[in-house]
Amino acid sequence: MEIFQYTFMLKAFLAGTMIAAIASSLGMFVVVKRFSMLSDALAHISLLGVAIGFLTALSPSYSSLAFTLVASWIIEYLRQHNKLYSDSILSIFLSGSLALAIIIVSASSSFNTSLFDYLFGSIVAIDDDDIVIISLLGLICAVTLYVNFQRFLYIAFDEESAKASGINTTFLNYLLISLVSVVISVSIKIVGALLIGAMMVIPAIIAMQFSKNFKNSVTYAILIAMVSVIAGLFISYYASLPSGATIVVLLLCFFTVSILFKTKRY
């Protein structure tokens, strides 16, 4: 097929499916913890990190990673200590970071176009370094999730009982949110700050409609996300559409079908 003759498309398929697998598996935990807005809030914080990176001539990737990690720890601290409602914390971070990013962008018009790429992502402009970083990240996530799967599940299901049984819920909550923030800061260059939330949350919600257990839900979420990325890249290539937006629209179509199917079935 013509599409496979282009190296950039092969890289897009590889990076896209890896991000889909990582984001959707972490997304399952985020969704069942009723923390779906977390991915959007962290994506906007990541964008602020990128803007500051451009402004200070630091590497946008590193500044984005640093900002997202620190912000995620503050969010988790506030959540654990019941300082504010979880959704209020996320709302403040989301709008606050976006506002700061806009001010930085307006103050310096020289990097507007570059920042625009981070907002919507460019899945077809992936270089070899991106593939290496995403592969490493995928490996770290896979090992961490495999080792702590039951503990993360216990905390998501009944945090109080998990803590009472002696599980270090504080450390594991920080570990999970750190993984989410790293995945987001690495992914926004490719998927876009406005779209990574959908990649994380929608496959999990679709999977939850049809599964009676958590393990299957994670498997379904990964499969749905990967199929959406592959199909989305095909459609975007042949219909000359933006890849990130096409993937999200496909996910929304799957979600609509899943809701209709479930309503009809039950």
The residue ranges that bind other proteins (CB under 8 A) are 32, 34, 147-148, 150-151, 153-154, 156-158, 160-167, 207-208, 211-217
Task: State in angstroms the smallest separation of the CB of 203 from other proteins.
Answer: 13
Quick check: 118 and 47 in contact, CB under 8 A?
A: yes
Q: How many whole angstroms separate alpha carbon 132 and alpha carbon 111? A: 26
Task: State in angstroms the smallest separation of the CB of 205 from other proteins.
Answer: 9
φ and ψ of 255, to 5 deg: -65, -45
Nearer to other proteins, 17 or 217 (CB): 217
Nearer to other proteins, 103 or 164 (CB): 164
Nearer to other proteins, 205 or 251 (CB): 205
Q: Which residue has the tokens 């506002």?
A: 99
What 8-state DSSP symbol labels residue 166?
T
Task: State in angstroms the smallest separation of the CB of 156 from other proteins.
Answer: 8
**Which of 101, 87, 103, 92 shows the shortest CA–CA distance to 36?**
87
Task: State in angstroms the smallest separation of the CB of 28 from other proteins.
Answer: 9
φ and ψ of 51, to 5 deg: -60, -45
Task: State in angstroms the smallest separation of the CB of 39 from other proteins.
Answer: 18
φ and ψ of 179, to 5 deg: -60, -45
Q: How many whole angstroms separate alpha carbon 150 and alpha carbon 172? A: 11
Quick check: 67 and 52 in contact, CB under 8 A?
A: yes
**Which of 22, 258, 6, 260 shows the shortest CA–CA distance to 126?**
6
Nearer to other proteins, 88 or 161 (CB): 161
Nearer to other proteins, 64 or 217 (CB): 217
Task: State in angstroms the smallest separation of the CB of 207 from other proteins.
Answer: 8
Nearer to other proteins, 7 or 150 (CB): 150
Residue type, 145: L
Tokens of 93: 């971070």
